[in-house]
Amino acid sequence: MSSGNIQKSQTLIKPTFSEKEATELVERVFGLKVSAIGSLPSYDDQNFHIHVSRSEGTANCADEYVLKITNCEDSQNPELIEVQTQIMMFLNVEGFPSATPHLTKDSNIMSLESLGTGSMTKKYMVRLLTYLPGMTVATISTNPHILYEIGKLAARLDKTLTEKFHHPSVKSLHRGKFIWNLANVPLLEQYIHALGQNSYREVVEQVIQQFKDKIVPKLRNFRACEYF
């Protein structure tokens, strides 16, 4: 697939709700009054940072949320989104810093909503998740201790899910060509164009090649993570 086709595909499936439409969505579906809204970075979904006003009947709700509007392709797989959300709820109970959903007015964890008219109408799965303040690793200076702690947390998370989490739809997470699955590192070659021509590109190309040469032939020897 060419870089142009990849970008076109992403554009076609990504939601395009305006801040006004997102605000109306939160108030209509979740029954919360939005006091401030701003967009958040995303890949093929659409995310908004939501501040809500407290009112009668909402005293126990959070002050900040992330409105997550899933792309129209993944929205066709409600089992996938259901199990992802159940995992988040489970991890929160287990003491991990994980967002949890605010229920819709119908007491559901998500809602299928439409945007557009006529043949241009598309449906998107919508969730309102508690906001977790913090900084992404990409924005801080890392050191061996921070990287160790990240690895330690990832290992504890995997162990907890493998040993304790059970759900009838968990197999929906196992998508063969899913680019976020570490076993699919070679698939990232089709996105190399995004780096342009700089030193970072050379490093990424070397990492991908080493993965293909040294890891791919031995993949069967590694225990795959149950959840990705």
Give domain status of residue 150, yes or no: no
For position 211, what pLDDT does the model report? 96
Question: In terms of DSSP bridges, do strands 64-69 and 111-115 run parallel, antiparallel, or are they unpaired?
Answer: unpaired
Mean pLDDT of 38-52: 94
Exposure string over 155-169, b if 16+ CB within 10 A, otherwise e: eebeeebeeebeeee
Residues 114 and 35 both lie in one domain:
yes
For position 47, what pLDDT does the model report? 97
Residues 126 and 184 both lie in one domain:
no
Give domain status of residue 142, yes or no: no
Neighbours of 31 (CB within 10 A): 17
For position 5, what pLDDT does the model report? 47
For position 3, what pLDDT does the model report? 41
For position 228, what pLDDT does the model report? 54
3 state DSSP class of 120:
helix
Q: Domain limits at 100?
A: 3-130
Give domain status of residue 122, yes or no: yes
Residues 111 and 36 both lie in one domain:
yes
- What pLDDT, in 10s, does the model give residues 134-153? 888 888 998 999 999 999 99
State how far the Cα of 35 lies from the Cα of 53, in Å rounded to an integer. 6
For position 144, what pLDDT does the model report? 95
State how far the Cα of 32 lies from the Cα of 212, in Å rounded to an integer. 49
Residue 9 has pLDDT above 60, yes or no: no
* Least confident piece of the model among 122-126, 167-171, 213-217: 167-171
Tally of domains within the chain? 2
CATH number (domain holding residue 126): 3.30.200.20
Residues 226 and 121 both lie in one domain:
no
Q: Which of 66, 96, 130 is the last residue of a domain?
A: 130
Residue 175 has pLDDT above 60, yes or no: yes
Give domain status of residue 168, yes or no: no
For position 199, what pLDDT does the model report? 83
